[in-house]
Structure 1
Amino acid sequence: MTRQIVLDTETTGLSAEGGDRIIELGCVELLSRKLSGNNLHLYFNPERDSHEDALKVHGISNEFLKDKPRFAECVKDILEYLQGAELIIHNAGFDIGFLNKELELVGLPPLATYVDRITDTLAMAKEMFPGKRNSLDALCDRLEVDNSGRQLHGALLDAELLADVYINLTRGQDALLIMDDAPEGEGGVRVAAVDLSALALPVLAANEQELAEHEDLLAQIDKSSGGKTIWRTC
């Protein structure tokens, strides 16, 4: 069963290398492209204040975070939850940069060590909608995902919205089984081979009335074309 985690973070600012920290982590689990309800939502004490501009975005006060656990106290549970999954993130470079910095601070290797792969929905959207705005709000509007409850950024809410956006961005894939070890077809798409040798399809023959109606329809088409229909001239 394919396991995907749609992930979002909120931070004290824009620079992980400059000392900004994660203050909120929101994760939504998809199993075979369906919401499982097994979500992860945590707030952290970043041990520093959020920048004023960041506060305007997420609205999470410094006072609210004072009694929350440090990231280091939750890292084991976080990595166990994310282990082996495909991560789906909008503008993945930002969130991964912060997560990698948090892991570095506790002496652990980068996040890619623990997960199967990382999919950036911003990169997907730019390829599908070149030249257009591809923020999460813009994609919600374009793909008819209801984001009316999003007054401020919040990691869990944004992850839930992104899950709907991702499903809509990849809508055609729920009817196509894609496997890493399947034969490669045209265009580089790997499609699972299906064995139909044991499948017996019933053959339904047309009755006399149906054959007569079919012949009459062909005759009418032939008459309209001046006797130039292919099935009459071949």
Structure 2
Amino acid sequence: MQKIAVLDYGMGNLHSAVSALQQVAPDEEIALASTPAQAQGADRLLVPGVGAIRDCMAGFVETGFEPLLRDAIDAGLPILGVCVGMQIMMRRSEENDGVDCLDIFPQPVKFFGDDLRETEAVGACGSRLKVPHMGWNRVEQTREHPLWAGIENGSRFYFVHSYYVPADDNDQVAGRTDYGVPLAAAVARENIFATQFHPEKSADAGLQLLKNFVGWSGRA
């Protein structure tokens, strides 16, 4: 039996993530960890998150999860970030007048803007888009990765966010979608895979991604 720690740093209801992991990995220990001690001995980490980036960063640092995460990266443990759990791994966010993040990935986190418009990739070009972005989007898999196994390219995943990571042309962007601007739906490097979408709310494709995470060695 392996231990999968879901890091609880006070940002949002985590029970849907725990429940989804229990569904795809009924024989594993799913630990909701609110302290580093409760996450000790974990074989893999899930870093979720919802809410404002300043509060998320403060909660993550104050609970002592930053050194835990960095040690897990150095040790090669498989790590999955979800939504704001992905954004806190970036260099800096425009939210809350600018907040420094963990700088694990070099990309910034940007605001969609108050006048976001559809592009041809989304639908009727020029129509105004709502912010936050809430709903299902097709995700293009831009590089091969074990967490995409068994998931058809172009599958739909569920998004809820007002800020995004630009889909720059680099090998760390593992998936992309478009909501007025091209954005990174997933990023990956070494033993980290992180998604802007919520796999636990993304039906069969999301459950398959979580199942892949449970079986992932941490190597791309």
The TM-score normalised by the length of structure 1 is: 0.28
Higher strand share: 2
Structure showing greater radius of gyration is 1
The TM-score normalised by the length of structure 2 is: 0.29
Higher helix share: 1
